[in-house]
């Protein structure tokens, strides 16, 4: 990162402007069909590589599904109202959706496709569109062995799904009951613990070798469950894994800003139409694609660590996936920006972003 020394600094000596290697988003939901008209332009404005989650209906289960889905994303990109440079640099990387029937051949084909970056494990029933997910890891042995063999990473939604387990304990229980076992059984497998929300998950990742890393979302760095529940239920803060206590938020902020290469950017930007969030049974997901960088900058600056943003946003994820670093740059500056109250979305609906209508201290410099 280049801290611009020509720019006046605040009393705390925080630079008012930073230039980063163009970031990548290692966990995003773009959806499909008409949704792509909104989500692709927003993602491409900020990110070069994005890892696209496969929880479509029906899910992306094979390399040929992934190739077709990627083409639909690229078709939407050609229509997007963004600069030619952003279009040229945007590079969607695909994932397969792990099911009980994912075979070693599916993994081999994915590894050889050149566009499948990883395989996403949703415990069946854990979250949005996870009904076709894995019911028991005993069904996954051959696929996991093949992933280890071909170097295809496993991305994990780390929550148990048992009805009797409290929603705030589901991540910790999965870490304790399952993650350690996967690491022991497949010691060479690359694993990303996605969107970690607890100090337990952070500590687990820290205790493993270089083959185990984690993504962290902007909402889990900036907010805790009080933001969602005190003074009225605020559905746009509802995502899974759910926001936790402030002590967990503080630990996530600590590890994200520590410079440790195991922790990198994954927004988990997850669009749901406003009326499906503001609902008696609201959907899980925070939409942040186009405001993620100002959100992360605000979080890092809140603890005086804006100088650590570039590693987290632009370097450590690429290193983990064995990809080259980007060569272009983006500049953020301490100019307030007010987040839109909503965006047009699909057939006449709207999409309400995280922190809609709020003003952030950081913005992307045009
Ligand atoms: O909040 C979430 N939304 N968490 C997930 O795991 C899935 C995502 C979605 O697809 O909407
Ligand atoms: Zn996700």
Question: What is the per-residue pLDDT across 258-299, written as a single tens digit (0 to 9) for each?
Answer: 999 999 999 999 999 999 999 999 999 999 999 999 999 999
Q: What 8-state DSSP symbol labels residue 313?
A: I
pTM (predicted TM-score):
0.96
In the annotation, is 268 catalytic? Answer: yes
pLDDT value at position 11?
Answer: 44
DSSP string, 185-254: HSTT--EEE-S--SHHHHHHHHTS-TTEEEEE-HHHHH--HHHHHTTS--GGG--SSPP--HHHHHHHHH
The answer to whether the CB of 128 is under 6 A from ligand 1 is yes
DSSP code of residue 175: I
First vs last C-alpha separation in the chain: 18
Rounded CA-CA distance 208/203 in Å is 9
Residue 316, CA distances (Å) to 44, 143, 288 in order? 20, 26, 21
Q: Is the CB of 252 under 6 A from ligand 1?
A: no
| Ligand number with the minimum distance to the CA of 59 | 1
Q: Which two tokens stand for residue 348?
A: 């006449």
Question: In this predicted model, what pLDDT tens digit does every residue of 274-285 receive, in sequence order?
Answer: 999 999 999 999
Residue 270 CB–ligand 1 contact under 6 Å:
yes
Gap between the Cα atoms of 359 and 149, Å rounded: 47
Answer whether 52 contacts ligand 1 (Cβ < 6 A): no
Binding site membership of 305 for ligand 1 (Cβ less than 6 Å): no
Distance 10 CA to ligand 1 centre (A): 37
Which ligand is located closest to the Cα atom of residue 51? Answer: 2
How far is ligand 1, taken at its centre, from the CA of residue 127, in Å? 6
Best mutation site among 132, 160, 270, 345 for ligand 1 pocket (most ligand atoms within 8 Å of CB):
270
Tell which atom from ligand 1 comes closest to the C-alpha of 29.
10
Q: What is the CA radius of gyration of the chain?
A: 19
**What does the pLDDT read at residue 12?**
55
Residue 14 pLDDT:
79
CA distances from 79 to 69, 342, 345 (A): 16, 21, 15
Q: What is the pLDDT along the chain (366 residues), one digit of tens a residue?
A: 444 333 334 445 778 999 999 999 999 999 999 999 999 999 999 999 999 999 999 999 999 999 999 999 999 999 999 999 999 999 999 999 999 999 999 999 999 999 999 999 999 999 989 999 999 999 999 999 999 999 999 999 999 999 999 999 999 999 999 999 999 999 999 999 999 999 999 999 999 999 999 999 999 999 999 999 999 999 999 999 999 999 999 999 999 999 999 999 999 999 999 999 999 999 999 999 999 999 999 999 999 999 999 999 999 999 999 999 999 999 999 999 999 999 999 989 999 999 999 999 999 998
* Residue bearing the CA closest to ligand 1, atom 10: 128
Q: Cβ contacts of residue 92 below 8 Å, gap of 6+?
A: 30, 49, 50, 52, 70, 73, 74
Q: What pLDDT, on the 0 to 100 scale, is given for residue 10?
A: 44
């Amino acid at each position: 990162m280049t801290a611009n020394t020509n720019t006046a600094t605040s009393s705390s000596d925080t630079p008012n402007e930073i230039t980063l290697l163009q970031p990548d988003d290692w966990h995003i939901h773009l959806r499909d069909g008409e949704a792509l008209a909104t989500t692709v332009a927003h993602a491409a404005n900020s990110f070069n590589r994005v890892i696209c989650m496969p929880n479509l209906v029906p899910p992306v289960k094979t390399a040929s599904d992934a190739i077709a889905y990627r083409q639909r994303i690229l078709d939407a990109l050609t229509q997007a109202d963004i600069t030619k440079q952003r279009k040229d640099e945007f590079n969607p990387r695909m994932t397969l959706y792990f099911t009980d029937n994912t075979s070693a051949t599916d993994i081999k084909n994915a590894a050889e496709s050149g566009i499948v970056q990883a395989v996403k494990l949703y415990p069946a029933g854990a979250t949005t569109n996870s009904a076709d997910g894995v019911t028991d890891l005993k069904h996954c042995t051959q696929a996991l062995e093949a992933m280890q063999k071909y170097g295809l990473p496993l991305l994990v939604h780390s929550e148990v799904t048992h009805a009797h387990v409290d929603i705030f304990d589901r991540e910790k229980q999965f870490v304790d009951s399952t993650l350690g076992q996967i690491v022991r059984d497949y010691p060479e497998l690359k694993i990303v613990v996605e969107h970690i929300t607890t100090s337990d998950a952070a500590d687990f990742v820290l205790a493993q070798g270089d083959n185990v890393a984690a993504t962290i979302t902007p909402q889990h760095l900036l907010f805790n469950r009080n933001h969602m529940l005190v003074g009225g239920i605020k559905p746009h803060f509802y995502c899974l894994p759910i926001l936790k206590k402030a002590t967990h938020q503080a630990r996530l902020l600590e590890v994200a800003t520590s410079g440790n290469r195991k922790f990198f950017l994954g927004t988990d930007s997850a669009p749901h139409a406003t009326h499906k969030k503001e609902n008696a049974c609201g959907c899980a997901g925070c939409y942040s694609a186009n405001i993620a960088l100002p959100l992360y900058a605000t979080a890092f600056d809140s603890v005086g660590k804006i100088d650590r943003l570039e590693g987290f946003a632009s370097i450590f994820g690429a290193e983990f996936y064995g990809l080259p670093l980007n060569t272009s740059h983006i500049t953020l500056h301490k100019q307030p920006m007010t987040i839109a109250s909503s965006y047009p979305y699909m057939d006449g609906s709207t999409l309400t972003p995280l922190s809609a209508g709020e003003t952030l201290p950081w913005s992307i410099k045009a």
